[in-house]
Amino acid sequence: MVRCRVAGRGGGRVAPVKVNSSPALGRALLRLLTVQGSWNYERMQGVGFGVAEEPLLRDLPRQAYPGAVARSAHFFNAHPYLCGLAVGAAARAEHDGTTPDQVDRLRTALCGPLGSVGDQLVWAGWLPFNSGLALVLVALGFGAWAIGGFLVLYNIGHLVLRWWALQAGWASGLQVASALRHPALLRAGALVRPAMALALGAALPLAAGYLSAPFAPWARIVVVGVAAAGLLLLRTGRVALNGLRFGLVTVAVALLVAWLWR
């Protein structure tokens, strides 16, 4: 049971509202999978945020529902996998009778922390870990099984993170900052970074050997020389060059040499 504030002639009064949160949380989770489907420069993820939060707002009193839905589509931008933490917290705040200004401030305050934590945990941890593990398995000859394993493991991880974030936000409301210090989240961050380094460290030599196997010995030496030259140029910074430009130039030169060789 959630208590929400209902306006009346005598001022705000607190009335109990029964909220069956499990089906609503399930619908919100499914909608969170498309949170970036309506991304735009004006509200970023705001419209998708509102679509995901709407199932959690249906049990609000009739006079409170339209305003809450309108607020839910305001500007928001954070990591998509942790967006549910703000969705759940904002919806719970609406049920608790929090003022509109406080709800807006809550959403704004969560943008930075959720973006930072999500980037470190997923983009700099979970994704490269799974990518490195898949490369190792491909190099060891597992082929399509390695790709399938990557898709299954990675998606299980991000779905668990989305579900945890949504539940934690709904349970915390305005106290959602405590969820970012949850031991499980801290432990996951502490484990995924060394695991990522181990997986990529193992993947680099194995992938290099796997990709260079069809080439003659002299061609392997050329590849190593080009890679070393690119690394030197990028490290010195004396040439207006980045990794993408160097890669495109290298591919263009390789195609030209292959055409002339024929």
pLDDT of 81 strictly over 90: yes
pLDDT tens-place string over residues 148-205: 999 999 999 999 999 999 999 999 999 998 898 889 888 998 999 999 999 999 998 9
Q: 121 or 212: which carries more pLDDT confidence? A: 121
What does the pLDDT read at residue 9? 34
d(CA 254, CA 250): 6
pLDDT class of 238 with cuts at 50, 70, 90:
low
DSSP 57-75: HTTS-TTTHHHHHHHHTS-
Is-contact 149 137, C-beta < 8 A? yes
237 and 192, same domain (yes or no): no
Report if residue 22 sits inside a domain.
yes
Provide the percentage of residues in the chain whose pLDDT is more than 90: 64
3-state secondary structure of 47: helix
Q: Are residues 198 and 221 both part of a single domain? A: no
Residue recorded with tokens 């930072």: 116
The pLDDT assigned to 6 comes to 41
Could you give the percent of the chain with pLDDT greater than 70? 91
Residues 76, 158: one domain?
A: yes
Residues 75 and 112 in one domain: yes
Domains contained in the chain, number = 2
111 found inside a domain = yes
Task: Tell me which amino acid residue 21 is.
Answer: S
172 and 239 housed in the same domain: no
Q: Is residue 210 part of a domain?
A: no
List, for residues 97-110, the tens digit of each pLDDT value.
999 999 999 999 99
Note whether residue 208 is domain-resident. Answer: no
Do 14 and 38 fall within a single domain?
yes
pLDDT category at 21 given cuts 50, 70, 90 is low
Structural domain contains residue 155: yes
In a domain, 209, yes or no: no
8 A C-beta contact, residue 104 and residue 136: no
pLDDT band per the 50, 70, 90 thresholds, residue 244: confident
Pair 17, 97 in one domain:
yes
Q: Mean pLDDT score of the chain, rounded to an integer?
A: 87
- pLDDT, average across residues 120-129: 95
Residue 10 has pLDDT above 50, yes or no: no
Are 232 and 124 part of one and the same domain? no
Q: Assess whether pLDDT exceeds 90 at residue 12.
A: no
Please, which contacts does 231-239 make with residues 24 or more away whose CB atoms are closer than 8 Å?
none
> Are residue 143 and residue 175 in the same domain, yes or no?
yes
Are both 167 and 121 inside the same structural domain? yes
Q: What is the mean pLDDT of residues 70-93?
A: 95
∠ CA(158), CA(111), CA(52), 5° rounding? Answer: 55
Domain end point (choices 175, 202, 229): 202
In a domain, 239, yes or no: yes
137 with 238, same domain? no
> Does residue 97 fall inside a structural domain?
yes
Q: Looking at per-residue confidence, does 116 or 10 come out higher? A: 116
**Domain limits at 253?**
215-261
Per-residue pLDDT, 253: 86
Q: At residue 2, does pLDDT exceed 50? A: no
Residues 8 and 125 in one domain: yes
Lowest mean pLDDT segment, chosen from 16-20, 68-72, 98-102: 16-20
The mean pLDDT of 227-253, rounded to a whole number, is 80
